Amino acid sequence: MRVLLVEDEEDLRHVIEAGLRGAGYAVDAVGDWPDADVLLDLAPYSCVVLDRMVPSGDTLYALRERRRRGWTTPVLCLTALNEVPDRVDGFHAGADDYLAKPFAMVELVVRVGSLVRRAPERTPVRLRHADVEMDEARREVRRAGILLSLTPKEYAVLRLLLLRPEEVVTRSTLIEHCWDEMADPVSNVVDAVVAGLRRKLGPPSPIQTVRGHGFRFSGGADPV
């Protein structure tokens, strides 16, 4: 799950970025809309956290224009403008949720999670294949009823594999969705995370390696 954060206050941007990463999201963070506009055309995002007032102006104008062109990515607006007319303007421009500053980080994470689940693909709150179950609301993973302790990156990779059971998911797809723009596409980060997942899921491994392509969640076979 990849989130784009647009926030011009540097200290706050770092805090939000750290909080979202800690919750398992890959985060690209920028300080102004023109940079965000470029990234939105380059990568798929599950959600955008958008500060309303940035150096280039009120982002609602840009948001309204993207919505007019059919852009559907969920947007959470952050702003110090919290009067009723301000919130109404935000929703009319195409925002899906509105959070006033100052806010609790835990609430922002929950709101982002809710928007991701309500995204156009309509991913369910519970993902299950064979004896592996993921509860998105509680951010819990169990195999055969046993609770597993996963790192945020392991959780993100497993989530994508569970969304596409029995399909081959390439390494580049995993990097695109589970890592941010700082990831090295030729490094072995994906293999390292998958190896950790296999250890925690235990035998028989539900994650198969498809040589030369990527990985497949098959629900029980040992890795090829």
Residue among 56, 36, 108 nearest 78 (CA) = 108
Q: CA distances (Å), 183 to each of 38, 40, 48, 171, 197, in order?
A: 18, 17, 19, 12, 19
Common-topology check for domains 2-117 and 126-217 = no
Question: If pLDDT is split at 50, 70 and 90, which confidence band does 159 have?
Answer: confident
**More confident call, 32 vs 1:** 32
Domain boundaries, the chain: 2-117, 126-217
Strand partners, 210: 214
Q: What percentage of the chain reaches a pLDDT higher than 70?
A: 90
What is the SS3 assignment for 28?
strand
Tens digit of pLDDT for each residue in 21-52? 888 888 899 999 999 988 887 777 889 999 99
Question: If pLDDT is split at 50, 70 and 90, which confidence band does 132 have?
Answer: very high
> Domain 2-117 classified CATH 3.40.50.2300?
yes
Question: If pLDDT is split at 50, 70 and 90, which confidence band does 124 have?
Answer: low
Q: Name the average pLDDT for the chain.
A: 85
> Domain 126-217 classified CATH 3.10.180.10?
no
Looking at residue 221, its pLDDT comes to: 46
